[in-house]
Each structure stands twice: as C-alpha cells, then as structure tokens.
Structure 1
C-alpha cells in the first residue's frame, strides 16, 4: 500500500500499469539513503569538498566539526524557505496595490488592513488609498535593516517571548535583511559555531513567521475573505472528465481566485459547452487549493482540493485535467512529461516555475489578472 487514501492507491497502480513513473516509484528507486547526509554531516559548499565527518576525520577540510556542519546545512535550507515566503508575500502585497471596487481584486475585510496599518504606524485614512499605501509600506518592511527591530514582530508576537528574544539577541529586523545575514553566515569559514548558527536560525524563523507569513495571510484575508468553517471536497475524485478542468497549483491563491471568478460567468461556461463539455470547473491543488477552499465555497464550478504535491502527477494521470496552472512551489520536474501523455497543458503562472517541456506561460500580473484568467480559459 502506497497511501492510506484509496483513490491515490488506485491511481498509483494505474500509472504503473501504463508504464508511468511517479513520486512513489522514484522514492523506492532511491533505496538506502546516505547516512552522512541523513545526519547533516556531509558538506559540498566549497571547492575543498565534499567533506564527511567520520571518527577518523572529525572535522572538514576547513576545520568545521559535526555540530557546526549540521547546523549550517540546516540554516541554509531555512534561507531557501524564507526566500520563497518573501516572494509569496511580495506578490500578495503587489496584488493589494491593485485592489479597488469593481476590479479583479477588492478589499473584503478592511479590519485586517487596519490591523496591519496600526502595526506599522500607517494612517488608516483616507481609506480609499490605504491598499496602495499599505502595499508600499509592507514591501519596505521586508527590507528593514536587521539591526532595526521589526514593528510587525512587536505587534504580533507574544510579549513574554519578545523579552526572551531580546535577551538572546535574536529579535529580528526585516526578513529580507535577516535572510541576507543568515545566508552570509553559511559561507565557508564565516561561522562554524553551531550555537551561533542556531541562534541565527531562530532569529530568521521569527522574522519569517511574524514579518512575512502573518502579514501575507492578513492581506489574503483582506482580499479574498477571512476563512470560516464550511464543508469542502478533497479527493482525486473531484475531477470529472466530462467537464473542462483547470487545476490551480502552487502556493499563492491570486490567479486561482481570478479563475474562479471568471469561471462563474455565463460566457466562460458557454465556451466550455460549445467545446462539447458539460461546463468549466476549477480544481484546487496543494497549497493554492488549500488557500482557496478556506475562503471560497465549493460548488459546481470550484469543486475543491485534489490533495498535496505527492498526488499532482496522479491528478494529471486521470486524464481529466485540461490545464495545469502552475504557480510558485511544488511543480515536480517531471510533470511536463506526464501532462504531454494525457493531453494537459502545463502553464506556468509564476516566473519562478521552470519545468523542462512546459508550455508557454501566463505570468501573473495583478494589474492584468482578469484578462489573464480569460487567456487561460481560452487555452
């Protein structure tokens, strides 16, 4: 059994029977993993490596020990995650600047914007200019100097923890500067002290949580509605081949939200029926799908969430997806091959996405989102 989920097992076996490789097969093919890598005691950062820590060689060529090497590897992985979340946040903040009544994006929860404005000392009035002013201010906050304490952390983190962080010297500034400092600490012969590296990691985590993730979620709540409990559908079985199905995949909800709005129009549904389908549906995938199902009701147009990134190849292998719109994060490098086998267009909607053999992209631009949604539907 490859999964506890029945539909996943069915599709894994169907793919194998068709001679298609999936993440499950590649996992098995890897076999026993490198024990040095599993412990974080293998390093190839410089031209003197790769180095491995062993009883006979307790230090790398540069002199770093096992603890320092493992923590440096861990911190470097964290910097990549922070960079990706900052990209997400920047895209969301750029989208906020385009919010206006009757536009592709409108403010639905002003309270979240007012909370953010209060956190960074921005005047709420005049309210009609608040989205654009707040967008500019939040982007600037990402780049706040690392020695200048972040007002976002001060506003949203628990006060008792802030006191501890200040005593430890890990109260952060802006996440962009913190990420720069953390990455610089990972260079060979800069920082080999595991305690110092661990503190840098904690500081980066605080900056990411309260200076990036909290404000980006607040802005998404403001634009698409604050999540409320409601029934959703989650399974590969939400894909119905009698419909034109556009899957929205990745980490950000903006293009998915624009597609949901466009797909609810009579014109879009008529276009799908004219092509011989019963209609047009939007299918959520991984984090983009999760962001959407929190905020949009599941109906006959937006049909729910297929699952996480492990089953995206399986979703395509059903043969029921017409377009796989790939936003940043979690589009596997083999997906174009799977899409070509099943007549699915792999359309990147972020300039971060790069998959060999993918189709021409429609790179998200918040000022053109409504037109871009129509462009994807027309494919």
Structure 2
C-alpha cells in the first residue's frame, strides 16, 4: 500500500513529467546523432575519393612535364599510393550494397593476422585475431552477413549506449526523481504525517527507494525497448539476433601481466550482448538510486543532495584513471564503482584495463550491490536518528 502511494506520488509530480520528456528528447537526439554518423561516413568517403582523385590528376600532369628521373619516380610512387587508397575507399562503398563480400574479406584478413600473431608470439593479438575470425566464420556459416554499425537500426542504437550515454541518462533520471523524495518530506512538513503511520521507519525509506528504482527502470529501460523495437522493425534487422558480435574470455596471470586463455572463449551474439547490457544497466540503476536516496535523506534541500551526489561522480571520474596505476588491489576496486563504460563490464574485458585478476563482471555487480546495501541501510539509520532528534 505504501509502495503504491509512493509510486503514485512520483507519477503525479512535475519532476516525473520532466524526466519523461528528457528521456524521450535524449533518445531522439541520440538516434539523430547515430543516423548522421552512418550517413556522414558514406558522404565523407565519397568526398575523400573525389579529393584524392583530383590530387592524382595533378600529380599525373606534373609527371608528364617532369624530365628529372628521380622526381618522376617520386611522383609515380605517390600516384600508386593514392590510387591504392582510392581503390580501398571505393571498396568500402561497394561493401554497403554487398555486405557478404565485406564479411568474407574481413574473415580472411583476421585469419592472416592470426597466423602472423602465432609467428610473433603476441598472445593478446593472437586472441583478438582468432576470436574475430571465429565470429565472422560463424556468421558466414549461418549465411547472415551483418556488420554492426553499418546501418542505423535497433541493435546499433542499443549497444552504442554502452559507452557512457546510458550511465549519464541513468544519473539524470535518478537525480530528477530521487533527489527530493526524502528531503521534500522535511521541506513540506509531511514527515510528521509519516511518523503517525503504523509502519517501521525502515519500510518508509525502503518503499521510497523501491518506488524510485521502479520509476527510473520503467522510464529508462522501457524507453530503450520501445526505440529498439521500432528501429529494428523499420530497418528489418530483428532477424540478425543470432549473429555473433562480441566475446568473453577468461584470463590468466603470466608474471605481472594478464593474458587471455585461448581455449576458453565464449562468443556472444547480438541478443546475448543486448541482454547483458540491460542487466548491467539494471544493476547500475539499483546502485545509483541507492546513493541518491542516501543523499536525499541527509539534506533537507534536494538541490544539495543532487550537488553532493554529482560531486561524488565527478571525483570518481577524475581519480578513476589514477587509481588504475596503484598497485594495491583494494584501491583498484574503487574504479569499478558506477562503471561508466558498460561494454567493458558485460564483455568482461576490465582485466586488460585494470591489470588485476579478479576485476570481472561478477565483481562489478557484487561491488555495486554491496554499495547499494550500505547506502540504503545508512539512509534508514539517518532517517531514524533524525526522527528521534526532532
């Protein structure tokens, strides 16, 4: 009953309407950005080809007039290099209408690079080239020639949000909806009514927390699913759900470096990557809202709660890279709090960045859930103590 009342209060507030509008606008702007990126790639490639061909003609004219053999040879080498570049760029444009050719040639490239890596003994390159060859080979065997990011569709929209965009949107929504949810009770004097309710004070905070999580979840994940579905239906790309896109590998320690284990690779298709990203986003929503509720309980002014939380996020962002070079593993754990790059989390590639054996997907989930419990319990304790003081 109390949870229902909290959700109703959020839905009737002006901040919810603001959050809804912001969510829609941000998603539309993000779609516009992706759409322009896919179209500009083609346009810029054609312009580059035209400029390069113009340069080739100028060099050919100079070559025809030149009498010095050394200069002639130099001009011819430049012409050959530029002509090779033009052929490669024209091939890229051909790939748009012939994705099968692109996938097959990419697979051949990674096979050659894999063989070269075996000769050089570079374990990281060996892993990278081998897995990419496996991904493309499996796609070819299924007769599905899909290149992620080549066209503007639902998969591209959803997975592109792995890189900071999802993180920023979750923070914006959590602050809009949750920063005032406790502090307003003191500001408006309604906390006196809450005291008369025959419920535990812990339940009041828990219900506010759950109501905020559910609202942010519905706004953020719900809007993602709507855009994802519409864009895939429009582009006709739902059929590529089983195309292999990314990979997860376990790691082993060799000296002070961490290297992939070649025989323990898990290939991920588009559907699996999308599911893992959504799971990571849910964990992030749970953790971020917990922190926001904590600061909302401390301050009677929601603005102070927002500023305090934002300051924490900025501090983590500033020190994140610095903490990576620290040798103490426990301090490196701090870099996994509120991970802004979700792709690194759900593909389990944090080890290469942090160079620490236990920095995995499960650690990120566990750490952020632990942090959530601490924030929520602290909020409950602060709320109970403030009631006693008042």
Q: TM-score, normalised by structure 2?
A: 0.30
Question: Is the radius of gyration larger for structure 1 or structure 2?
Answer: 2
More RCO (CA 8 Å, sep 6+): 2
Name the structure where helix makes up a greater proportion of residues: 2
Q: TM-score, normalised by structure 1?
A: 0.30
